[in-house]
Structure 1
Amino acid sequence: MGRVFVVFLEGKIYSCKHCGTHLALSEDIMSKSFHCRHGKAYLFDKVVNVTFGEREERLMTTGMHIAADIFCALCGSLVGWNYETAQEKSQKYKEGKSVLERFKICGPNGSRYWVGHDVHSGGSDADDV
């Protein structure tokens, strides 16, 4: 395996919870209304310092998609997934976009998101405003 080159971002940065590698900028968030099995997740227009897993068909709440898991390029932690293609016409905007799971990243102010037994899809967080 060769040397890993990482991109350093400037601004409000989301980073890998395990190693601190920069993953995305706050300004690249398209939506904060996504959900995964660990709670909330954010849809990003662009992410950096990630590698892609195998492409596979996945039946999600919004229909059938071809998606690939994304991993931190430095430590290899699973941080989310990337939408390759969407079957439903209304979901085409997701193609080429990535979702980062909040549980697996640190927020722009260094905050870590934790999963508790009371995780629910409603409500408001300080990071959502």
Structure 2
Amino acid sequence: MGRVFMVDLEGKIYICKHCKTHLSTDQDIMSKTFQCSHGRAYLFNDVVNISIGVKENRMMISGLYTVVDIFCVGCGSNVGWKYEFAHDNRQKYKEGKSVLELYKISGPHDSNDLVSDGDDA
């Protein structure tokens, strides 16, 4: 196994709650209306510093999908899932997008834990 190179993001970022690895930015949010088994989740256009699990079919609120769980490369924590294939044509926009579960990440959605690399003027 080779060395893991991590991407450092700029701006308002979302990080792994356990190890603070950068995962995505507020500019990559596509939707804030997703739900997971433990509460709210956001749909992101792009997520970095992750590894993926095994493809599996999963029945969700909006239908059947082929998904992979996604894991933080910093600590190995499961942080959400990625849509590989939507079986319903109306849900195709989700393919290739990732869902991060809010209870597993920190970021601008946390009023007490704003994550930014710049000045908050």
Q: TM-score, normalised by structure 2?
A: 0.89
Displacement, 1:57? 0.4
Q: What are structure 1's unaligned runs of at least 5 residues?
A: 113-129
Residue 17 of structure 2 corresponds to which residue in structure 1? 17
Displacement, 1:7? 0.2
Displacement, 1:2? 1.9
Within 5 Å, which residues of 2 pair with 1:12-91? 12-91=12-91
Match for 1:58: what amino acid? R
Q: What secondary structure, in the 3-state scheme, does the structure 1 residue paired with 2:92 have?
A: helix
CA distance in 2, matches of 1:100, 1:111: 17
Residue 126 of structure 1 corresponds to which residue in structure 2? none
Residue 4 of structure 2 corresponds to which residue in structure 1? 4
Report how many aligned residue pairs link the two structures: 112
Match for 1:29: what amino acid? I
Displacement, 1:88? 0.6
Q: What are structure 2's unaligned runs of at least 5 residues?
A: 115-121
CA-based RMSD: 1.3
CA distance in 1, matches of 2:30, 2:2: 33
Displacement, 1:74? 1.1
Residue 111 of structure 1 corresponds to which residue in structure 2? 113
Identity of aligned residues (%): 61
Structure 1 segments (4+ residues) deviating >6 Å = none
- Residues 61-117 of structure 1, C-alpha deviations (whole Å, 9 max, x = no match): 1111000000001100000000000011110000000000000000136729xxxxx
Residue 118 of structure 1 corresponds to which residue in structure 2? none
